[in-house]
Amino acid sequence: MKEKFKKITASQVTISELMLPSHSNFNGKIHGGYILRLLDQIAFACASKHSGVYCVTASVDTVDFLNPIEIGELVTMKASVNYVGRSSMVIGIRVEAENIQTGAVKHCNSSHFTMVAKDEEGRSVQVPGLILETDDDIRRFVKSIKRGANKKKRRNEFQATDFASAEYIHLLEEHNVKLEM
């Protein structure tokens, strides 16, 4: 690790790509899987730029598809490091699509990827800390702390029980299921 702390702006990455018919699904909208691939690529680039080493995707924490993306729109993804731990980083990504004929821009996706820095032998390595300069930087960092705590709580809850049907069958009454046991 060369630097002890880095500014968020030092690792930000922006990519733009024109959406082609080959990227579309059967409904004529851009396939979510294609967008996920681009999200993973930009998360890797941002995390590797911050850490200075190879990074792997540890988890895709949130992917909120907000608006469909149309063929012919210019998609721009903006990634930045929102949080750092010892070897992990939360990369926040905003996806916007622009109609290149009208100039109209819409927010299409917000995502958070947890990336981990690795050495040549595949061991986790320490990453530089973050220099927080704005209220938005602080807000994103704190939201990442809260999101991580909720993720840990959820993981612990799911590991603490086997969800035996006798204990949880009452929860099914308010859902659209039919039991045939």
Which residue type, as a one-letter code, is found at position 175?
Answer: H
Domain assignment present for 161: no
- How many independent structural domains does the chain possess? 1
**Which whole number is the average pLDDT over 13-17?**
98
Domain of residue 61, residue span:
5-133
What is the model's pTM? 0.90
Beta bridge partners of 29: 70
Which among 93, 66, 64, 73 is positioned nearest to 81, based on CA atoms? 93
Per-residue pLDDT tens over the stretch 56-67: 999 999 999 999
Domain assignment present for 63: yes
Instruction: Write the DSSP assignment of 116-143 as a string of letters.
Output: EEE-TTS-B----EEE--SHHHHHHHHH
Per-residue pLDDT tens over the stretch 80-126: 999 999 999 999 999 999 999 999 999 999 999 999 999 999 999 99
The DSSP code for 72 is T
Domain assignment present for 180: no
Domain assignment present for 149: no
Phi/psi of residue 34, nearest 5 degrees = -65, -40
